[in-house]
Structure 1
Amino acid sequence: MTHSVVPTEERHFESLYQALDTVAREKKYLAQIQAPPWEKSLAFYRNVLAEGFPHVVAVDAGDRVVGWCDVSPVFGHSRAHIGILGIALLPEARGRGLGTQLLQAAIDRSWARGLTRIELSMRADNLNAKALYERLGFEHEGLARRASLIDGIYHDAFRMALLR
Protein backbone atom coordinates (compact mmCIF):
# COMPACT_ATOMS: atom_id res chain seq x y z
CA MET A 1 0.00 0.00 0.00
CA THR A 2 1.23 3.47 -0.87
CA HIS A 3 1.70 6.01 1.90
CA SER A 4 2.54 9.70 1.81
CA VAL A 5 4.00 11.99 4.45
CA VAL A 6 2.28 15.37 4.41
CA PRO A 7 1.83 18.38 6.69
CA THR A 8 -1.10 17.91 9.05
CA GLU A 9 -4.31 19.61 7.96
CA GLU A 10 -7.72 19.88 9.58
CA ARG A 11 -9.08 17.11 7.36
CA HIS A 12 -6.70 14.70 9.14
CA PHE A 13 -7.91 15.44 12.68
CA GLU A 14 -10.47 12.65 13.00
CA SER A 15 -8.25 9.82 11.74
CA LEU A 16 -5.28 11.31 13.62
CA TYR A 17 -7.33 11.11 16.80
CA GLN A 18 -8.28 7.50 16.03
CA ALA A 19 -4.63 6.63 15.39
CA LEU A 20 -3.61 8.29 18.66
CA ASP A 21 -6.17 6.25 20.58
CA THR A 22 -5.11 3.00 18.89
CA VAL A 23 -1.42 3.48 19.66
CA ALA A 24 -2.10 4.74 23.20
CA ARG A 25 -4.13 1.62 23.99
CA GLU A 26 -1.12 -0.55 23.11
CA LYS A 27 0.40 0.83 26.34
CA LYS A 28 3.93 0.65 24.91
CA TYR A 29 4.84 3.81 23.07
CA LEU A 30 3.00 6.84 24.45
CA ALA A 31 2.68 8.44 27.86
CA GLN A 32 -1.09 8.12 27.79
CA ILE A 33 -3.01 4.83 27.67
CA GLN A 34 -5.92 6.26 25.70
CA ALA A 35 -6.56 9.41 23.72
CA PRO A 36 -7.64 12.47 25.67
CA PRO A 37 -11.25 13.59 25.19
CA TRP A 38 -12.00 14.58 21.57
CA GLU A 39 -12.59 18.24 22.44
CA LYS A 40 -9.20 18.53 24.14
CA SER A 41 -7.44 16.81 21.24
CA LEU A 42 -9.25 18.96 18.69
CA ALA A 43 -8.18 22.12 20.54
CA PHE A 44 -4.58 20.84 20.59
CA TYR A 45 -4.58 20.03 16.86
CA ARG A 46 -6.09 23.40 15.98
CA ASN A 47 -3.47 25.18 18.08
CA VAL A 48 -0.70 23.22 16.35
CA LEU A 49 -1.92 24.47 12.98
CA ALA A 50 -2.53 28.03 14.18
CA GLU A 51 0.97 28.28 15.66
CA GLY A 52 2.64 26.54 12.72
CA PHE A 53 4.28 23.90 14.90
CA PRO A 54 6.08 21.10 13.04
CA HIS A 55 3.46 18.34 12.67
CA VAL A 56 3.30 15.81 9.85
CA VAL A 57 1.21 12.72 9.21
CA ALA A 58 1.64 9.57 7.16
CA VAL A 59 -1.55 8.81 5.26
CA ASP A 60 -2.64 5.83 3.18
CA ALA A 61 -4.18 6.03 -0.29
CA GLY A 62 -7.55 6.84 1.31
CA ASP A 63 -6.04 9.79 3.26
CA ARG A 64 -6.38 7.88 6.57
CA VAL A 65 -3.67 8.75 9.11
CA VAL A 66 -1.44 5.76 9.88
CA GLY A 67 1.23 7.71 11.78
CA TRP A 68 2.39 11.13 12.85
CA CYS A 69 5.38 13.06 14.09
CA ASP A 70 5.32 16.39 15.87
CA VAL A 71 7.80 18.69 17.53
CA SER A 72 6.26 20.87 20.22
CA PRO A 73 8.29 23.97 21.06
CA VAL A 74 9.25 24.47 24.69
CA PHE A 75 7.97 27.73 26.11
CA GLY A 76 10.12 30.10 28.12
CA HIS A 77 12.76 32.48 26.84
CA SER A 78 15.81 30.41 27.81
CA ARG A 79 14.39 27.23 26.22
CA ALA A 80 12.66 28.65 23.14
CA HIS A 81 15.25 26.96 20.90
CA ILE A 82 14.08 23.47 21.99
CA GLY A 83 11.34 21.21 20.68
CA ILE A 84 9.95 17.99 22.17
CA LEU A 85 9.50 15.19 19.65
CA GLY A 86 6.56 12.80 19.52
CA ILE A 87 6.04 10.07 16.94
CA ALA A 88 3.89 6.99 16.51
CA LEU A 89 2.72 4.61 13.81
CA LEU A 90 -0.20 2.23 13.67
CA PRO A 91 0.93 -1.41 13.90
CA GLU A 92 0.25 -2.10 10.21
CA ALA A 93 2.41 0.88 9.16
CA ARG A 94 5.53 -0.11 11.11
CA GLY A 95 8.66 -1.48 9.48
CA ARG A 96 8.06 0.24 6.12
CA GLY A 97 10.35 3.26 6.45
CA LEU A 98 7.53 5.63 7.37
CA GLY A 99 9.08 6.42 10.75
CA THR A 100 12.22 7.66 9.01
CA GLN A 101 10.19 9.76 6.58
CA LEU A 102 8.04 11.24 9.35
CA LEU A 103 11.05 12.05 11.51
CA GLN A 104 13.01 13.65 8.70
CA ALA A 105 10.05 15.81 7.68
CA ALA A 106 9.47 16.96 11.27
CA ILE A 107 13.18 17.62 11.82
CA ASP A 108 13.41 19.67 8.61
CA ARG A 109 10.39 21.74 9.67
CA SER A 110 11.87 22.22 13.14
CA TRP A 111 15.16 23.55 11.80
CA ALA A 112 13.26 25.84 9.39
CA ARG A 113 11.31 27.18 12.38
CA GLY A 114 14.61 28.11 14.06
CA LEU A 115 14.82 25.34 16.63
CA THR A 116 18.35 24.11 17.33
CA ARG A 117 17.63 21.21 19.71
CA ILE A 118 15.06 18.41 19.52
CA GLU A 119 14.57 16.28 22.63
CA LEU A 120 12.72 13.02 23.13
CA SER A 121 11.98 10.49 25.80
CA MET A 122 11.34 6.86 24.87
CA ARG A 123 10.82 3.62 26.73
CA ALA A 124 14.17 1.90 27.11
CA ASP A 125 12.75 -1.39 25.81
CA ASN A 126 11.71 0.12 22.45
CA LEU A 127 14.81 -1.00 20.59
CA ASN A 128 13.44 -0.35 17.09
CA ALA A 129 12.81 3.31 17.93
CA LYS A 130 16.22 3.62 19.58
CA ALA A 131 17.92 2.35 16.42
CA LEU A 132 15.91 4.76 14.25
CA TYR A 133 16.74 7.77 16.41
CA GLU A 134 20.43 6.86 16.46
CA ARG A 135 20.45 6.42 12.68
CA LEU A 136 19.15 9.98 12.32
CA GLY A 137 21.79 11.39 14.66
CA PHE A 138 20.04 11.54 18.04
CA GLU A 139 22.42 11.01 20.95
CA HIS A 140 21.78 9.52 24.38
CA GLU A 141 21.67 12.01 27.21
CA GLY A 142 20.58 9.77 30.04
CA LEU A 143 18.34 7.16 31.54
CA ALA A 144 15.28 8.02 33.59
CA ARG A 145 14.60 5.10 35.91
CA ARG A 146 10.97 4.22 36.62
CA ALA A 147 9.90 6.94 34.21
CA SER A 148 6.46 5.44 33.66
CA LEU A 149 4.12 3.10 35.50
CA ILE A 150 1.68 1.09 33.39
CA ASP A 151 -0.49 -1.68 34.79
CA GLY A 152 1.66 -1.85 37.92
CA ILE A 153 4.95 -2.21 36.03
CA TYR A 154 7.66 0.46 35.99
CA HIS A 155 9.48 1.24 32.75
CA ASP A 156 12.74 3.11 32.30
CA ALA A 157 13.13 5.73 29.58
CA PHE A 158 16.04 6.95 27.52
CA ARG A 159 16.48 10.68 27.03
CA MET A 160 17.91 11.58 23.63
CA ALA A 161 18.50 14.77 21.68
CA LEU A 162 19.48 16.00 18.25
CA LEU A 163 21.38 19.27 17.89
CA ARG A 164 21.62 21.46 14.83
Structure 2
Amino acid sequence: MPLHISPLAKSHFEGLRRVLDVIAREKHYLAFFVAPAAEEAYAFYRDILTHNDSHYVALFENKVIGWCDVIRKPQAALQHVGVLGMGVHPDHRRQGIATQLMQTAIAKAWENGLTRIELTVRSDNAAAIALYERHGFTQEGLLRQGFLVDGAYFDVISMALLMEQP
Protein backbone atom coordinates (compact mmCIF):
# COMPACT_ATOMS: atom_id res chain seq x y z
CA MET A 1 0.00 0.00 0.00
CA PRO A 2 1.48 3.37 -0.95
CA LEU A 3 1.93 6.34 1.31
CA HIS A 4 -1.22 8.37 1.87
CA ILE A 5 -1.51 11.90 3.30
CA SER A 6 -4.81 12.34 5.11
CA PRO A 7 -6.52 15.06 7.14
CA LEU A 8 -6.56 14.23 10.85
CA ALA A 9 -9.52 12.07 11.85
CA LYS A 10 -10.55 10.60 15.19
CA SER A 11 -9.44 7.17 13.96
CA HIS A 12 -5.84 8.49 13.81
CA PHE A 13 -5.62 9.67 17.44
CA GLU A 14 -4.07 6.52 18.94
CA GLY A 15 -1.54 6.01 16.13
CA LEU A 16 -0.63 9.69 16.12
CA ARG A 17 0.05 9.67 19.85
CA ARG A 18 2.15 6.53 19.43
CA VAL A 19 4.43 8.06 16.75
CA LEU A 20 4.58 11.31 18.74
CA ASP A 21 5.88 9.32 21.71
CA VAL A 22 8.58 7.61 19.63
CA ILE A 23 9.84 10.97 18.35
CA ALA A 24 9.59 12.67 21.75
CA ARG A 25 11.72 9.95 23.34
CA GLU A 26 14.53 10.72 20.87
CA LYS A 27 14.98 13.99 22.84
CA HIS A 28 16.16 15.81 19.75
CA TYR A 29 13.18 17.19 17.87
CA LEU A 30 10.37 18.10 20.26
CA ALA A 31 10.11 20.24 23.39
CA PHE A 32 8.84 17.30 25.46
CA PHE A 33 10.37 13.88 26.07
CA VAL A 34 7.28 11.67 26.19
CA ALA A 35 3.88 12.04 24.59
CA PRO A 36 1.17 13.58 26.74
CA ALA A 37 -1.25 11.22 28.47
CA ALA A 38 -3.83 9.80 26.08
CA GLU A 39 -6.76 11.95 27.27
CA GLU A 40 -4.67 15.13 27.10
CA ALA A 41 -3.42 14.30 23.60
CA TYR A 42 -6.89 13.34 22.40
CA ALA A 43 -8.37 16.58 23.78
CA PHE A 44 -5.73 18.51 21.82
CA TYR A 45 -6.56 16.57 18.64
CA ARG A 46 -10.31 17.13 19.16
CA ASP A 47 -9.63 20.85 19.52
CA ILE A 48 -7.78 20.82 16.19
CA LEU A 49 -10.78 19.19 14.52
CA THR A 50 -13.19 21.65 16.16
CA HIS A 51 -11.21 24.67 14.94
CA ASN A 52 -10.51 23.22 11.47
CA ASP A 53 -6.78 23.79 11.93
CA SER A 54 -4.44 22.36 9.31
CA HIS A 55 -3.37 18.92 10.54
CA TYR A 56 -2.38 16.01 8.32
CA VAL A 57 -1.03 12.56 8.99
CA ALA A 58 1.10 10.32 6.80
CA LEU A 59 -0.24 6.77 6.62
CA PHE A 60 1.79 3.79 5.44
CA GLU A 61 0.01 0.43 5.42
CA ASN A 62 -2.82 2.21 7.25
CA LYS A 63 -0.48 3.12 10.14
CA VAL A 64 0.33 6.70 11.20
CA ILE A 65 4.03 7.33 10.54
CA GLY A 66 4.12 11.12 10.69
CA TRP A 67 2.21 14.38 10.95
CA CYS A 68 2.35 18.06 10.15
CA ASP A 69 0.10 20.69 11.63
CA VAL A 70 -0.24 24.45 11.46
CA ILE A 71 -2.13 25.67 14.52
CA ARG A 72 -3.59 29.18 14.49
CA LYS A 73 -2.49 31.42 17.37
CA PRO A 74 -5.48 32.30 19.59
CA GLN A 75 -4.64 35.93 20.41
CA ALA A 76 -6.69 38.55 18.52
CA ALA A 77 -3.69 40.36 17.02
CA LEU A 78 -2.10 37.06 15.98
CA GLN A 79 -5.04 35.36 14.25
CA HIS A 80 -3.16 35.54 10.94
CA VAL A 81 -0.27 33.46 12.34
CA GLY A 82 0.05 29.71 12.63
CA VAL A 83 2.71 27.58 14.29
CA LEU A 84 4.01 24.59 12.35
CA GLY A 85 4.82 21.34 14.10
CA MET A 86 5.76 18.06 12.50
CA GLY A 87 7.45 14.73 12.90
CA VAL A 88 8.16 11.57 10.94
CA HIS A 89 8.88 8.19 12.51
CA PRO A 90 12.64 7.42 12.38
CA ASP A 91 12.06 4.34 10.20
CA HIS A 92 10.47 6.49 7.49
CA ARG A 93 12.71 9.56 7.33
CA ARG A 94 14.54 10.83 4.24
CA GLN A 95 11.87 9.47 1.88
CA GLY A 96 10.13 12.76 1.04
CA ILE A 97 7.32 12.23 3.54
CA ALA A 98 8.04 15.45 5.44
CA THR A 99 7.90 17.38 2.16
CA GLN A 100 4.50 15.93 1.26
CA LEU A 101 3.14 16.62 4.73
CA MET A 102 4.44 20.20 4.78
CA GLN A 103 3.14 21.06 1.31
CA THR A 104 -0.32 19.78 2.21
CA ALA A 105 -0.48 21.42 5.65
CA ILE A 106 0.83 24.77 4.40
CA ALA A 107 -1.65 24.85 1.51
CA LYS A 108 -4.52 24.25 3.97
CA ALA A 109 -3.15 26.94 6.32
CA TRP A 110 -3.23 29.52 3.49
CA GLU A 111 -6.74 28.32 2.58
CA ASN A 112 -7.73 28.89 6.23
CA GLY A 113 -6.68 32.54 5.93
CA LEU A 114 -3.28 32.46 7.61
CA THR A 115 -0.62 34.73 6.12
CA ARG A 116 2.35 33.82 8.35
CA ILE A 117 3.63 30.45 9.56
CA GLU A 118 6.23 30.21 12.31
CA LEU A 119 8.32 27.38 13.71
CA THR A 120 11.29 26.77 15.95
CA VAL A 121 14.03 24.21 15.38
CA ARG A 122 17.16 23.23 17.27
CA SER A 123 20.21 24.81 15.67
CA ASP A 124 21.96 21.42 15.43
CA ASN A 125 19.13 19.92 13.33
CA ALA A 126 20.68 20.68 9.94
CA ALA A 127 18.36 18.36 8.00
CA ALA A 128 15.22 20.06 9.31
CA ILE A 129 16.63 23.55 8.77
CA ALA A 130 17.47 22.65 5.16
CA LEU A 131 13.96 21.20 4.67
CA TYR A 132 12.31 24.35 6.00
CA GLU A 133 14.52 26.61 3.89
CA ARG A 134 13.67 24.56 0.76
CA HIS A 135 10.03 25.38 1.49
CA GLY A 136 10.70 29.12 1.75
CA PHE A 137 11.11 29.55 5.50
CA THR A 138 13.68 32.14 6.54
CA GLN A 139 15.59 32.39 9.78
CA GLU A 140 14.39 35.29 11.91
CA GLY A 141 16.13 34.84 15.22
CA LEU A 142 18.18 32.77 17.61
CA LEU A 143 17.01 31.73 21.05
CA ARG A 144 20.26 31.09 22.87
CA GLN A 145 20.11 28.07 25.17
CA GLY A 146 16.47 27.65 24.20
CA PHE A 147 16.41 23.87 24.83
CA LEU A 148 17.76 21.99 27.83
CA VAL A 149 18.13 18.24 27.30
CA ASP A 150 19.83 15.98 29.84
CA GLY A 151 21.80 18.90 31.26
CA ALA A 152 22.97 20.23 27.87
CA TYR A 153 21.76 23.51 26.37
CA PHE A 154 20.93 23.89 22.68
CA ASP A 155 20.25 27.06 20.73
CA VAL A 156 16.93 27.27 18.90
CA ILE A 157 16.33 29.03 15.58
CA SER A 158 13.03 30.78 14.90
CA MET A 159 11.90 30.67 11.29
CA ALA A 160 8.88 31.96 9.40
CA LEU A 161 7.16 31.71 6.04
CA LEU A 162 5.01 34.53 4.71
CA MET A 163 2.22 33.95 2.25
CA GLU A 164 3.11 35.52 -1.06
CA GLN A 165 1.17 38.70 -1.55
CA PRO A 166 -0.44 39.32 -4.97
Please report the TM-score for the alignment, with normalisation by the length of structure 2: 0.96
Whole-angstrom distance in 1 between the partners of 2:119 and 2:51: 21
Deviation, structure 1 residue 21: 0.4
- Other-structure match for 1:150: 149
Deviation, structure 1 residue 110: 0.2
TM-superposition CA deviations, 1:50-72 (whole Å, max 9, x none): 111100000102x1110000111
Work out whether 1:9 is the aligned partner of 2:26: no
- Other-structure match for 1:162: 161
Whole-angstrom distance in 2 between the partners of 1:126 and 1:76: 30
The answer for unaligned runs of 5 or more in structure 2 is none
- SS of 1:154's partner is strand
Whole-angstrom distance in 1 between the partners of 2:98 and 2:2: 14
Work out whether 1:75 is the aligned partner of 2:80: no
The answer for unaligned runs of 5 or more in structure 1 is none
Deviation, structure 1 residue 18: 0.2
Query: Which amino acid is 2:86 matched to?
Result: I
TM-superposition CA deviations, 1:33-81 (whole Å, max 9, x none): 00011110010011111111100000102x1110000111111111110
Paired residue total: 163
Whole-angstrom distance in 2 between the partners of 1:93 and 1:66: 7
The equivalences for 1:69-148 within 5 A come to 69-148=68-147
Please report the TM-score for the alignment, with normalisation by the length of structure 1: 0.97
Deviation, structure 1 residue 2: 2.5
Whole-angstrom distance in 2 between the partners of 1:92 and 1:4: 16
Query: Which amino acid is 2:144 matched to?
Result: R
- Other-structure match for 2:23: 23
Whole-angstrom distance in 2 between the partners of 1:114 and 1:64: 30
Deviation, structure 1 residue 86: 0.2
Deviation, structure 1 residue 28: 0.4
- Other-structure match for 2:40: 40
Whole-angstrom distance in 1 between the partners of 2:123 and 2:18: 26
